[in-house]
């Protein structure tokens, strides 16, 4: 991708000022090249180059952010890519990967990093296509719907996956479904709407068959 190439070029040619980021309630320290942050994020660009005390001190505090999520952000920032997805039907592995995708998408939305949001949408899309019908545990769905509404493209992928890839009988037989629908009524509503599309009189198209660009356009 052109954006990834641009970031790699930036690494070699612009290694000047650094910014100290204090993350989480324990204020874990990350020292990052300022140019990386300002190139990737509208929030960091404003904080580092604007008329804020953070710009003068070259230090930013993010007390409410998760250290692990920020570590993944920094790894992506410097590498320009993510680890390759390996198809698996292991629910624990898939659940951990999906949680990471959700957290990074929400964080990227907070800091105005459009590129990372699109990377996360692409990653979830490929995950559900590559890993088969057992790759998306229900507790991951509940976690997604507990997060801010800005994760709409991830929700649409999730709903399409459950409506078009999961057998209705197996869905109904799962004891955890009832609890999920109580905790995440918006998921229940969106599933019903998509099911009415799929089984209605008019022939509907599986959104996942429209390609990843269909979801990227909604980030």
100-158: per-residue pLDDT in tens?
999 999 999 999 999 999 999 999 999 888 776 667 888 888 999 998 878 899 999 99
Whole-number pLDDT of residue 133: 61
Residues 10, 33: contact at Cβ < 8 Å? no
Q: What is the pTM of this model?
A: 0.86
Whole-number pLDDT of residue 179: 79
Query: How many whole angstroms separate alpha carbon 33 and alpha carbon 194?
Result: 45
Distances 196 to 155, 166, 192 between C-alpha atoms, Å: 17, 15, 6
DSSP string computed for 89-146: --HHHHHHHHHHHHHHHHHHHHHT-HHHHHHHHHHHHHHHHHS-TTSS-HHHHHHHHT
DSSP SS3 for 1: coil
The residues spanned by each domain of the chain are 1-81, 90-219
Which segments in the chain show pLDDT lower than 50? 1-6, 9
Quick one: which of 73, 70, 194, 180 has its CA closest to 136? Answer: 180
Whole-number pLDDT of residue 43: 95
Whole-number pLDDT of residue 15: 61
CATH superfamily assigned to domain 1-81: Potassium Channel Kv1.1; Chain A (3.30.710.10)
Whole-number pLDDT of residue 52: 66
Whole-number pLDDT of residue 110: 95
Q: Which residues, in sequence order, are CB contacts of 114 under 8 Å at separation 6+?
A: 108, 219
């Amino acid at each position: 991708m052109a954006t990834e190439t641009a970031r790699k070029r930036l690494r070699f040619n612009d290694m000047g000022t650094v910014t100290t980021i204090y993350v989480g309630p324990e204020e874990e320290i990350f020292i990052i090249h300022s140019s990386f942050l300002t190139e990737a994020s509208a929030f960091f660009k404003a904080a580092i180059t604007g008329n804020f005390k953070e710009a003068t001190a070259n230090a930013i505090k993010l007390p409410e952010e998760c250290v692990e999520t920020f570590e993944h952000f920094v790894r992506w920032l410097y590498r320009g890519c993510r680890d390759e997805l390996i198809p698996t039907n292991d629910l624990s592995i898939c659940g951990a990967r999906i949680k990471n995708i959700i957290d990074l998408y929400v964080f990227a939305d907070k800091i105005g990093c459009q590129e990372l949001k699109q990377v996360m949408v692409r990653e979830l899309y490929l995950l559900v296509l590559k890993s088969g019908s057992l790759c998306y545990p229900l507790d991951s769905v509940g976690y997604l719907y507990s997060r801010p509404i800005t994760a709409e493209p991830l929700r649409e992928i999730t709903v399409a996956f459950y409506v078009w890839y999961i057998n209705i009988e197996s869905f109904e037989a799962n004891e955890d479904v009832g609890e999920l629908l109580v905790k995440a009524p918006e998921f229940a509503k969106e599933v019903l709407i998509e099911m009415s599309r799929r089984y209605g009189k008019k022939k509907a198209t599986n959104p996942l068959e429209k390609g990843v660009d269909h979801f990227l356009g909604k980030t």
